[in-house]
DNA sequence: TACTTGTTTGAGGG
DNA sequence: CCCTCAAACAAGTA
């Protein structure tokens, strides 16, 4: 998604698919179904003088229309359940704010609402929720301990940025070893990655190892 | 390099 | 449109 890496609170301009707001120490979920007015079937074609083929054609159309309507209803129900489950898992976020996000994976939600991960994946892409702390894509609530938002590239990018910043501030006489960086990363943003990964990111940034950076005087 | 874990995507059924 | 399944893909790890 273009611009995905530019900030946490991007889409003020999208209209959310679902709202969450506090009420009485609890949270209420409200679906936005503005764009789906009440749909219903109109059985206008069922006339006895119609030909067999026409009746057949009509009833097939009716059938397909009716499952479309059912699908839309089901979608609403599923979206509601997913949202409910997210609120359950990320309650501290809804109560206190963005830095209280807990690690969460699709499978957690999938198991909770008894559905397949792939369904959860599809439901949570391109859907937005309005919360007391802003509007977020549903994907925002999933982070497997590493990335802060967008699943792939963004996570490692922001970790790289942080590494660069830390090395920039280090004492030239006492450069930060990868292991130390690893510790700091954990303290500062709660990211838990292996020392080896830190080394990989550092190399990617064209920063030499701590022993090479050490200055003698 | 190969294994593991997590997410996405294409096919197929309703 | 909904859903699942399996296979592909991506990232970290050893």
Q: Which residues contact A213 (CB under 8 A, 6 or more apart)?
A: A167, A170, A172, A175, A207
pLDDT of residue A122: 94
> CA A22, CA A103: separation in Å to the nearest integer?
22
Query: Does strand C come within 7 Å of the CB of A165?
Result: no
Chain B nucleotides covered by protein, CB below 7 Å: 5-10, 14
If phi over 0 gives left and psi between -120 and 50 gives alpha, with beta otherwise, what is residue A178? alpha
pLDDT range class, residue A45, cuts 50, 70, 90: low
CB A72 within 8 A of CB A40: no
For chain A, what percent of residues have pLDDT higher than 70?
76
Residue A118 (CA) to nucleotide B7 (C1'), in angstroms, measures 8
Per-residue model confidence (pLDDT) at position A2:
45
Mean pLDDT of chain A: 80
**What confidence tens digit (pLDDT) does each residue in A144-186 have?**
655 433 333 445 666 777 788 888 888 888 888 988 888 887 7
* The pTM of the whole model exceeds 0.85: no
Among A16-20, A34-38, A61-65, A68-72, where is mean pLDDT lowest? A34-38
Nucleotide of closest approach to A144 (CA, C1'): B6
- Strand C contact at CB of residue A115, distance < 7 A: yes
């Amino acid at each position: 998604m273009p611009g995905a890496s530019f900030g946490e609170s991007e889409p003020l301009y999208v209209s959310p698919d679902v709202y969450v707001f506090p009420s009485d120490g609890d949270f209420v979920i409200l679906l936005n179904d503005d764009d789906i007015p009440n749909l219903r079937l109109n059985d206008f074609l069922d006339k006895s003088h119609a030909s067999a083929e026409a009746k057949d054609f009509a009833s097939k159309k009716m059938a397909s229309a009716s499952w479309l309507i059912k699908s839309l209803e089901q979608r609403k129900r599923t979206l509601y359940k997913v949202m409910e489950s997210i609120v359950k898992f990320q309650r501290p976020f809804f109560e206190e704010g963005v830095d209280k996000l807990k690690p969460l994976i699709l499978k957690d939600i999938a198991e909770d609402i008894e559905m397949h991960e792939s369904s959860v994946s599809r439901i949570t892409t391109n859907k937005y929720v309005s919360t007391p702390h802003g509007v977020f894509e549903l994907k925002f609530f999933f982070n497997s301990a590493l990335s802060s938002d967008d699943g792939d590239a963004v996570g490692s990018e922001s970790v790289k940025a942080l590494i660069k910043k830390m090395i920039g501030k280090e004492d030239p006489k006492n450069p930060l070893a990868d292991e130390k960086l690893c510790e700091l990363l954990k303290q500062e943003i709660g990211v838990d990655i292996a020392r080896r990964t830190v080394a990989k990111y550092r190399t990617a940034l064209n920063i030499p190892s701590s022993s090479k950076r050490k200055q003698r005087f």
